[in-house]
Amino acid sequence: MKVFIHAFGCQMNKLDAELALSHLARAGYARCDSPEEADLVLYNTCSVREHAEERVYSNVGKLKFLKRRRPDVVIGILGCMAQKDQGRIFERLPHVDLVCGTREFPRIVELVEQARRRRGVLACGEAGAVREERDVRHRAHPFQDFITIMRGCDNYCAYCIVPYVRGREVSRPMEEIVDEARRLTDDGVREITLLGQNVNSYGLSFGRPGALVELLERVAAAPGLARLRFVTSHPKDMTRDILQAMRDLPAVCEHLHMPPQSGSDRVLKAMNRRYTAAQYRDLAALARDIVPGLALAGDFIVGFPGETEAEFEETAALVRELRFQNAFVFKYSPRPGTAAARLPDDVPEAEKRRRNQVLLGIQSRVNLEENARAIGREVEVLVEGPSPRDPRRLIGRARTNQIVVFEGAPALAGRLVRVRIESSTALTLAGRLMPDAGATLT
């Protein structure tokens, strides 16, 4: 039997797709690359913005013809949109056989068997922790991977659907995570990113707030691990300890994803973010003080209900001032059932688009300037392999996450090397591999 699986949305959703695949592989399924060849077609879905849901509806809508030609193909919708829309999915997409929420996909094999016998299987229970029995060989990259360290979210930011579709925040036991890290490094992984909606509160659900520091220490000790990252950090839960661990543990990269969302105190309060713009600025300054060379990344929402031009300008000022490495900008999208959905969505779409463009414009100038400043510097690169655009060159990432391209032997894939930067664009750095024995670090 063959399975096609595609994940929309965040990195955690992509990892959940690999987890589902681990279960299916044990039951004899092999992965394939298109729905046409598959006996089972699964989409792991996202609800974070309306646009994300529209993409699922349009992708799965097209499978109507496949189902007509081959009625025995099982089509399943998993994940956040499944949890949110449940049985309504069968009304909009009558050719779907299975709807499986965010906490039932470890039962995927059994649910698919049920759906083969009778169509319209709905499994969106809310109880219980997800068993993380992952086969680490199922992963997207040979040298880098992710580990889910916690699920759900208790923060209830006013605009956000995640707490409703992913449930209460639950941290995974530390032993389990450390064991998964070791299995990954045993299988050749050199870089691990720890994932959670709010990793700074790791441990809170088992009575040990602040356990992220110990977790970083223990995962960093996995043999052969060269790099460790963690996302996402909520500013309200960031501590000095975590920043010091970033500085003191050589594997932990000086790269912090800590979304401000807005630069206006009125908007931040309405978003229920529980910090002010001044507190964010202080925290960014403290982080840069403790962790030399820190690259800061963040998410922003434009056009939140009632956001005035002046309030937007406060966000623009923050983006200009803090010189992020990456700014992900989203147009506000009302999500049914959230607190903000009760407020009028009163910023016109064209104005949201304009504000979005303004922030991206500022950020792109920052990237151009900062990357130009890297010229002449030597950076440590974890080599991914030949560049897909130009196979004569290698591609990899700096510790601060910029893409770096350079000429070198394909056998360097998976190694840490030093590259001297010679040119740059807003998105990439290009340079020369440093020769001699010292060039290849490990």
Q: Does 155 participate in binding ligand SF4 (rule CB under 6 A)?
A: yes
Per-residue x/- marks for ligand SAH, 281-300, CB under 6 A?
A: ------------------x-
156 binds, among ligand SAH, ligand SF4, ligand F3S, none (CB under 5 to 8 A by kind): ligand SF4
CA distance 282 to 438: 39
Q: Does 301 participate in binding ligand SAH (rule CB under 6 A)?
A: yes
CA distance 329 to 333: 12
Tokens of 188: 């050749």
Tell me how far apart the terminal alpha carbons of the chain are, to the nearest angstrom.
41
47 binds, among ligand SF4, ligand SAH, ligand F3S, none (CB under 5 to 8 A by kind): ligand F3S
Q: Does 13 participate in binding ligand F3S (rule CB under 6 A)?
A: yes
Per-residue x/- marks for ligand SAH, 331-350, CB under 6 A?
A: -xx-x---------------
Residues 6+ apart with CB under 8 A from 437: none
CA distance 351 to 116: 48
CA distance 397 to 380: 8
Q: Does 158 participate in binding ligand SF4 (rule CB under 6 A)?
A: no
Q: Does 46 participate in binding ligand F3S (rule CB under 6 A)?
A: yes
Q: Is the peptide bond before 232 cis (omega within 30 degrees of 0)?
A: yes
406 binds, among ligand SF4, ligand SAH, ligand F3S, none (CB under 5 to 8 A by kind): none
Q: How far is the CB of 413 from ligand SF4 (least distance, A)?
A: 34
Q: How far is the CB of 191 from ligand F3S (least distance, A)?
A: 21
277 binds, among ligand F3S, ligand SAH, ligand SF4, none (CB under 5 to 8 A by kind): none
Residue 49 vs 355, nearer CB to ligand SAH: 49
Contact in structure between 407 and 382 (CB atoms under 8 Å): no
Tokens of 400: 């601060």
Q: Does 305 participate in binding ligand SF4 (rule CB under 6 A)?
A: no
* Contact window for ligand SAH (CB under 6 A) among 99-107, 278-286, 289-297, 325-333: 325-333
Contact positions with ligand SF4 (CB under 6 A) in 225-284: 234
CA distance 80 to 13: 9
Closest to 67 in 3D by CA, of 43, 36, 42, 44: 36
Q: How far is the CB of 80 from ligand SF4 (least distance, A)?
A: 11
Residue 35 vs 196, nearer CB to ligand SF4: 196
Q: Does 330 participate in binding ligand SAH (rule CB under 6 A)?
A: yes
402 binds, among ligand SF4, ligand SAH, ligand F3S, none (CB under 5 to 8 A by kind): none
CA distance 283 to 277: 10
Q: Does 38 participate in binding ligand F3S (rule CB under 6 A)?
A: no
Tokens of 413: 């894939």
By CB under 6 A, name the one of 48, 96, 181, 222 that touches ligand SAH.
Answer: 48
Q: Does 166 participate in binding ligand F3S (rule CB under 6 A)?
A: yes
Q: Does 297 participate in binding ligand SF4 (rule CB under 6 A)?
A: no
* Contact window for ligand SF4 (CB under 6 A) among 10-18, 135-143, 153-161, 417-425: 153-161
Q: How far is the CB of 259 from ligand SF4 (least distance, A)?
A: 7
* Contact window for ligand SF4 (CB under 6 A) among 21-29, 149-157, 322-330, 361-369: 149-157
Per-residue x/- marks for ligand SAH, 229-248, CB under 6 A?
A: ---x-x--------------
Residues that bind ligand SF4 (CB under 6 A): 153, 155-157, 160, 162-163, 197-198, 234
Q: Given the rule CB under 6 A, which residues bind ligand SAH?
A: 48-49, 159-160, 162, 197-198, 232, 234, 259, 261, 299, 301, 330, 332-333, 335
- What residue ranges bind ligand F3S (CB under 6 A)? 9-10, 12-13, 46-48, 79-80, 161-162, 165-166
